């Protein structure tokens, strides 16, 4: 007998047909796949006879091996193909926004100051072959053009770019674009169909207009830090710069909405996106509590104020999150973890009682979970369909078969840094697949190319360089 090999999705390109009969007894999964020409980097997960396994697992005659692909995204045009974005952003919120647009097919032209460029190019260590890892993480799918916007020749370059732009994105301090001679009304006079998106900490007008904004400042002012951390601990910053990233995400969504509106009206518009706005929008259920009865929520640690058990538990070799939002889930959890005695205790009869006696309940579960490994807790609860998950460090995250299968690791070749990996594109689209097409550009890498596209001759480009305009 042979091993029955089933290749899913994109993996079918490596072998004829979806199902193959392969002589694989005694081989490991990785050895068999190498023999049939399936590269390991294209695979995400392996299932033998219905059970997930590692690449080192040995196969026997009659086994059925299913292999899931690591999705890399489409190579065709994305949803924003044909949309040109003039990118006047730097640091994080703005570049994150324009990266999202680029991932979905937009032609993003990143304007940078000659000689220095986006300040994140200098935010290192860490770096890869001298290139800032921070910069690399948020600037793929863009072209870099160096332009001095204080130089008359540089201003002319920007004018020409705006003439052909669908979108102009900037995250200067409020008032800077006006001082450079490009207030929104002038941009839209140059390009009437252009959508102008302005990203700032606290808005283009009003009391916070002049305030400097960094992620930590906005996380604190927006209320998120007051809700994060342990109940008796200090306010705690979220471990990623989500103040910047959420602002960039909302800005990208608003730009996409404005592009759709332009299809109906023929007109562009001006978008005022703020970091503080993104933070307040995230408050969701906590804001609902405040508006409902005036209660000011405080940090709850890793547990839910209205559901028990819904929290983190420490296993023998790490931590897991367990969430039981109803009686059926609670019962299945108890049986899977050999805690059936809890089912006969009136203190845990329903969610209200479990909340009232949370400390006692937590102690019982903690004692049992501590006797098991993280993987064993997860296996037992997943088998009975109770929501559970390990708390993973980044090494575990990027080795996770689900993360690999969903294409959440993006790879692209960079001329200096080599093969660069970064978080991938978090959505999949059947008709207009997003993709990683360009490496994060070197400073000014596309200056001549883009200037030629907007009508400059080789002699004119040389003169602009000589004059210091580009």
Cβ burial of 113 (10 Å; 0-12, 13-18, 19+) is: middle
The verdict on 100 and 231 lying in the same domain is yes
The verdict on 53 and 119 lying in the same domain is no
Calculate mean pLDDT across residues 51-69.
Answer: 86
- What total of structural domains would you count in the chain? 3
Min mean pLDDT across 126-135, 144-153, 423-432 is at 423-432
The verdict on 315 and 443 lying in the same domain is no
More confident residue, 16 or 332: 332
The verdict on 176 and 214 lying in the same domain is yes
410 part of a folded domain: no
The verdict on 105 and 246 lying in the same domain is yes
The verdict on 246 and 335 lying in the same domain is no
Which residue segment(s) compose the domain that 220 sits in? Answer: 84-282+438-467
Residue pair 2/22 in contact by the 8 Å Cβ criterion? yes
Q: What is the CATH number of the domain that holds 226?
A: 3.40.50.10540
In terms of phi and psi (left: phi > 0; alpha: psi -120 to 50; beta: otherwise), the region of 379 is: alpha
Name the catalytic one among 205, 244, 359, 467. 244
290 part of a folded domain: no
Using the 3D structure, point to which of 364, 397, 430 is the last residue of a domain.
397
Give the model confidence (pLDDT) of 272-291 as tens digits: 999 999 999 999 989 998 99
Q: What integer pLDDT is reported at residue 71 of this predicted model?
A: 64
Give the model confidence (pLDDT) of 421-467 as tens digits: 899 999 988 889 899 999 999 999 999 999 999 999 999 999 999 99
Is the pLDDT at 352 greater than 60, yes or no? yes
Q: How far is CA 459 from the centre of its chain?
A: 42
Nearest 5°: phi and psi at 307?
-135, 140
Is residue 232 classed as helix, strand or coil in its secondary structure?
Answer: coil
Average pLDDT over the chain reads 93
Calculate mean pLDDT across residues 241-258.
Answer: 98
The verdict on 277 and 351 lying in the same domain is no
Omega before 297 within 30 of 0, i.e. cis: no
Give the model confidence (pLDDT) of 356-389 as tens digits: 999 999 999 999 999 999 999 999 999 999 999 9
Min mean pLDDT across 22-26, 232-236, 366-370, 435-439 is at 22-26
Distance CA 323, CA 311 (A): 7
Is the pLDDT at 73 greater than 70, yes or no? no
Distance CA 432, CA 77 (A): 6
Using the 3D structure, point to which of 343, 377, 397 is the last residue of a domain.
397
pLDDT over 70 percentage in the chain: 98
Calculate mean pLDDT across residues 155-179.
Answer: 97
In Å, how far are 101, 114, 216, 243, 285 from 296, measured between CA atoms? 37, 49, 21, 21, 12
More confident residue, 71 or 59: 59
The verdict on 213 and 338 lying in the same domain is no
21 part of a folded domain: yes
344 part of a folded domain: yes
Using the 3D structure, point to which of 336, 368, 397 is the last residue of a domain.
397
299 part of a folded domain: no
The verdict on 42 and 171 lying in the same domain is no
Is the pLDDT at 248 greater than 60, yes or no? yes
DSSP annotation of 173: P
10 part of a folded domain: yes
Give the model confidence (pLDDT) of 289-317 as tens digits: 899 999 999 998 999 988 999 999 999 99
In terms of phi and psi (left: phi > 0; alpha: psi -120 to 50; beta: otherwise), the region of 261 is: alpha
Min mean pLDDT across 255-264, 405-414, 451-460 is at 405-414
Q: What is the CATH number of the domain that holds 22?
A: 3.10.20.30
50 part of a folded domain: yes
Q: What is the pTM of this model?
A: 0.87
The verdict on 344 and 393 lying in the same domain is yes
Min mean pLDDT across 182-186, 217-221, 415-419 is at 415-419
Q: What integer pLDDT is reported at residue 76 of this predicted model?
A: 67
The verdict on 260 and 143 lying in the same domain is yes
The verdict on 344 and 372 lying in the same domain is yes
Question: Could you confirm whether 413 is annotated as catalytic?
Answer: no
More confident residue, 324 or 44: 324
Q: What integer pLDDT is reported at residue 86 of this predicted model?
A: 98
Calculate mean pLDDT across residues 236-245.
Answer: 96
Q: What is the CATH number of the domain that holds 374?
A: 3.30.1540.10
Radius of gyration of the chain (CA): 27
Q: What integer pLDDT is reported at residue 101 of this predicted model?
A: 98
304 part of a folded domain: no
Q: What integer pLDDT is reported at residue 411 of this predicted model?
A: 84
Strand bridging mode 319-323 / 167-170: unpaired
């Amino acid at each position: 007998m042979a091993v029955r090999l089933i290749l899913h999705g994109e993996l079918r390109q490596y072998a004829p047909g979806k199902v193959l009969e392969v002589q694989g007894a005694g081989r490991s999964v990785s050895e068999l796949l190498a023999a049939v020409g399936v590269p390991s980097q294209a695979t995400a997960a392996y299932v033998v006879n219905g059970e997930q396994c590692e690449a080192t697992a040995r196969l026997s005659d009659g086994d059925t091996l299913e292999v899931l692909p690591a999705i890399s995204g489409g190579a065709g045009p994305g949803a924003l193909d044909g949309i040109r974005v003039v990118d006047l952003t730097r640091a994080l919120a703005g570049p994150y926004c324009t990266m999202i647009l680029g991932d979905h097919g937009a032609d993003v032209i990143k304007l940078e100051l000659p000689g220095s460029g986006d300040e994140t190019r200098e935010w290192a260590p860490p770096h890869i072959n001298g290139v800032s890892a921070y910069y690399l993480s948020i600037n793929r799918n863009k072209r870099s053009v160096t332009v001095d916007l204080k130089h008359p020749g540089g201003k002319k370059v920007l004018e020409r770019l705006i003439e052909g732009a669908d979108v102009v994105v900037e995250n200067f301090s409020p008032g800077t674009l006006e001082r450079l001679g490009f207030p929104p009304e002038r941009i839209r006079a140059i390009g009437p169909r252009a959508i102008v998106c302005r990203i700032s900490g606290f808005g283009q007008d009003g009391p916070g207009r002049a305030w400097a904004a960094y992620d930590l400042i906005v996380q604190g002012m927006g209320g998120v830090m007051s809700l994060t951390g342990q109940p008796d601990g200090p306010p705690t910053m979220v471990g990623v710069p989500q103040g910047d990233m959420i602002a960039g995400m909302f800005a990208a969504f608003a730009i996409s909405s404005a592009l759709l509106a332009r299809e109906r009206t023929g007109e562009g518009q001006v978008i005022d996106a703020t970091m503080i706005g993104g933070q307040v929008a995230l408050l969701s259920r906590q804001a609902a509590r405040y508006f409902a009865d005036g209660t000011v929520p405080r940090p709850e640690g890793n547990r839910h104020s209205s559901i028990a058990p819904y929290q983190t538990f420490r296993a023998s070799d790490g931590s897991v999150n367990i969430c039981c939002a109803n009686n059926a889930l609670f019962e299945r959890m108890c049986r899977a973890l050999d805690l059936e005695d809890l089912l006969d205790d009136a203190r845990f009869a329903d969610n209200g009682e479990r909340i009232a006696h949370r400390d006692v309940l937590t102690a019982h579960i903690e004692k049992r979970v501590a006797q098991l490994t993280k993987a064993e807790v997860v296996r037992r609860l997943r088998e009975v369909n109770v929501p559970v998950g390990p708390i993973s460090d980044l090494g575990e995250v990027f080795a996770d078969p689900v993360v690999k299968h969903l294409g959440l690791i993006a790879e692209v070749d960079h001329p200096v840094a080599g093969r660069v990996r970064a978080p991938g594109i978090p959505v999949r689209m059947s008709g207009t697949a997003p993709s990683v097409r360009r490496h994060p550009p070197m400073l000014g890498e596309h200056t001549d190319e883009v200037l030629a596209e907007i009508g400059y001759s080789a002699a004119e480009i040389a003169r602009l360089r000589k004059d210091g305009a580009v």
